[in-house]
Structure 1
Amino acid sequence: MIHFTPKFYLIGRVTHTGTQRDGTPFSQVWKTIDSLGSGTYGDVVLQELQGSPGGGCLHAVKSITKKAHKNNKKILTNELKALIAVKKHPTKVVTFHGWYQDSQQTMFIAMEYVSGGSLERYMRKLKRVENILISSTSPLLVKICDFGIAKSADIDASGLKT
């Protein structure tokens, strides 16, 4: 897991500094280019990596304020643990890229951007399908993107249990 440290904030732009797994420091500038939606605990925006290497790379970034989850750190910890635990299923669950927190105590979770959108656009009668994203339409591949802040998840050596 990568823990990003935001260096400074401008409207719609953030610079992350951090350390890669091999200990190499890095700095990245991400620009918010679109709003993807909102839910119970926060909003999701589309961010694009600026410059090179990797310029043009897209992430979906979920923001979760402490106020939204009543300052319960366990809720956020469970969300991160769930994302890490299911990382071994990249064809079924969005890829978790890392997280960071700003000075206003808002947590940001960076995940894979799935361009097909949610099934909600295609199947209006199903409930809570906005958390199932379409990775490909031919063949049809879907990925799960939200674990409801994983409020009922327990993680152990065997994997995720609810």
Structure 2
Amino acid sequence: MPRIHVCSLARVPHTVAETGASHLVTLINVGTPVERPAAIAPERHLFLGLNDILEPMDGMIHPAEEHVATLLDFARGWDQQRPMVVHCFAGISRSTAAAFITLCALRPERDEADIAARIRALSPPATPNLLLVRLADAMLQRQGRMVAAIERIGRGHEAFEGHPFALTLRDERQGGTVSVA
């Protein structure tokens, strides 16, 4: 069963090696050094340079439609034969939003509230970036359900680094499994 693993920058090498991931999504500030693990081919690594902010700020790159469109294209190009790893600096906001967006895009029949609740259960500090989610909600024509689901789980507890976790593409209520990376 294909999985989306979420982690911090510090845990990328371990997570890629442990899971055998074939694809990597990086959402991090421009200029932050990120070393792509050798197991990930360059064309299977998406780097989105953006800050973890909810509105435009001078000197920062806010999440925008082009970031979400690029993420959606990359996710739809994933063959789902091996896992995908999604990370940001701390594994709390941008990466959890990207994993949520990817799962909603690839499995439109899945309930947004169930996915968000699963993220909260697996990673108490998770606080998906609401601007990324708002943009994706509009692009995926989810009529506010993605935003409502993330607002419902609220802000996670304070942490320097998120809890690594994995989401399956199968609905967990129908026999899928979820593991912690």
Structure that is richer in strand per residue: 1
Task: Please indicate, yes or no, whether the TM-score normalized by the shorter chain is above 0.5.
Answer: no
Largest Rg, 1 or 2: 1
Q: TM-score, normalised by structure 2?
A: 0.27
Structure that is richer in helix per residue: 2
Greater relative contact order structure (CA < 8 Å, 6+ sep): 2
